[in-house]
Amino acid sequence: GDSVTQMEGPVTLSEEAFLTINCTYTATGYPSLFWYVQYPGEGLQLLLKATKADDKGSNKGFEATYRKETTSFHLEKGSVQVSDSAVYFCALEGSQGNLIFGKGTKLSVKP
């Protein structure tokens, strides 16, 4: 069945460091792909999305490119801030129209 695998955390970075969180997926066809973020004490929020191959989703300085040849959707940010500390979830749209999530990667950014 469809699934998402993302890098294990936690990830600890210094402010202004470069961030990459790896995400690969297994699916039939070409589902829409998403990154959701969960800030402490808040609900999950959509960070960015891509609906077809080679699409680049971007928001708040974060980017991810839908790569069908490597079945990947890695999240990147050039310069992280303390306020980016959160748990990040990669997800794909399943055949039932639901979301299938990875296990999440906790990011801590130190000043």
Q: Return residues touching other proteins (CB under 8 A).
A: 4, 32, 34, 36, 41-46, 49, 51, 89, 91-94, 96-104
CA 101 vs. chain centroid, Å, equals 10
Tell me the closest approach of the beta carbon of residue 47 to other proteins, in angstroms: 12
Neighbours of 36 (CB within 10 A): 21
> How far apart, in whole angstroms, are the C-alpha atoms of residue 34 and residue 73?
8
Which residues, other chains included, contact 1 with Cβ-Cβ below 8 Å and sequence gap of 6+?
none
Nearer to other proteins, 19 or 92 (CB): 92
> How far apart, in whole angstroms, are the C-alpha atoms of residue 46 and residue 60?
11
Nearer to other proteins, 41 or 111 (CB): 41
Nearer to other proteins, 80 or 91 (CB): 91
Tell me the closest approach of the beta carbon of residue 38 to other proteins, in angstroms: 9
Tell me the closest approach of the beta carbon of residue 57 to other proteins, in angstroms: 11
Tell me the closest approach of the beta carbon of residue 94 to other proteins, in angstroms: 7
Nearer to other proteins, 17 or 94 (CB): 94
